[in-house]
Structure 1
């Protein structure tokens, strides 16, 4: 029997230390609980589901039991759960795969039904952004990751959580996507493969408009 539905989620920022943190996690668990596995082919986690995630070989962040339980229920029901790294949960290595989730790297071209979807977190795509891409390269660099791993988890997690919180809360105003001026829009416009839809997160705002013959 065909499963017609696919879901896309990004930027939940679980663990962000703000007043609504418990209700944020509860709402996400409620959303996952509302997904019917018998009708669902896949769930795509498009990055920044966690506000900060760093895993060691033998240590991962505590908590999120209800979230992982809800995801496991879906996978046990036959739903494929895919995840992308965001700019806040870059440092996922093997733990999510051990749980049964499947990693994807942006930009990923995925066939869903009769349409091609280009998916990813959305950060660092398109022209320009040299400063951001430089920092992104450092965060993804294996040498610097091993250097960070030399810190005790108690220290590393507090440094990472502090950086992540300042980064997230430093932007108080709602972002307004600038359409054709955005590097991401230009990336989609010049994407070399056939895509019917582009779906990304990262910007914390909604946007729906044509890009050539596709939609972003």
Structure 2
């Protein structure tokens, strides 16, 4: 992808809309829509790196209620010709084809590689990557198993969605009641993962969400690990202008 006419590429992650309640989530949704309205003016493309929703499950004919303003704004931007790319997170990993069919937005379930100008990128949500976190990795295998999804689909949506939302907001990190702190390069799993990826292939930027803590860390020669933060506590996003990558805070 080549950037043209001073265009930029934007990145955002971990909005967790719907948490901890629809009423408390609503102001954050309006803020995110305002951000989308702002960046669409010079966006070459927009990358959403997962956990846009605190819970999302696609039944055969049903999707979760709500988020109309967010979905409508994404549709408007995509219809205007600006590409949008979505990477599922651990809270919306049950996405199927709704975004593709209704919004013309491709959905990815794992990392993807891109080249923007002369810079190379590895992009993904980041859950289950790196050493450790074995409990979550086992749980993810269960959640993504086709038979498990079939069993959940047998639940009436009113029951299934409410149950999943209840379990989700029990996590203090997701509800925003507990901040996160930098653990140091030797203990941050995604930093370790990035360094390991660089052993086999070079990337200028390795960009992830999931961690909820905005940061840029040099992980190799001309290589940076980037975490985008979240839209619960930090309201941060990434922007690439063709030469450099910055993390910015949206304060409108």
Give the TM-score band, short-chain normalised: over 0.9
Provide structure 1 residue ranges, at least 5 long, that are not aligned to the other structure: none
The residue correspondences of 1:143-182 to structure 2 (distance < 5 A) are: 143-167=147-171, 168=173, 172-178=177-183, 179-182=185-188
Query: How far off is 1:164 after superposition?
Result: 1.0
CA offset digits 1:125-154 (Å, max 9, x no partner): 012221110011111111101110011101
SS for the counterpart of 1:173 is coil
Report the TM-score when normalising by structure 1. Answer: 0.93
CA offset digits 1:30-59 (Å, max 9, x no partner): 11111235x322111100010111110100
SS for the counterpart of 2:72 is helix
Aligned to 1:32: 36
Aligned to 2:95: 92
Report the TM-score when normalising by structure 2. Answer: 0.80
Aligned to 1:133: 137
Change (3 A) 1:184 1:66: same
Provide structure 2 residue ranges, at least 5 long, that are not aligned to the other structure: 226-252
Aligned to 1:113: 117
Q: Is the contact made by 1:10 and 1:201 (CA closer than 8 Å) also made in structure 2?
A: yes
User: Greater helix percent: which structure?
Assistant: 1
Runs ≥4 residues deviating over 4 A = 168-171
Confirm whether residue 60 of structure 1 aligns to residue 63 of structure 2.
yes
Change (3 A) 1:209 1:164: same
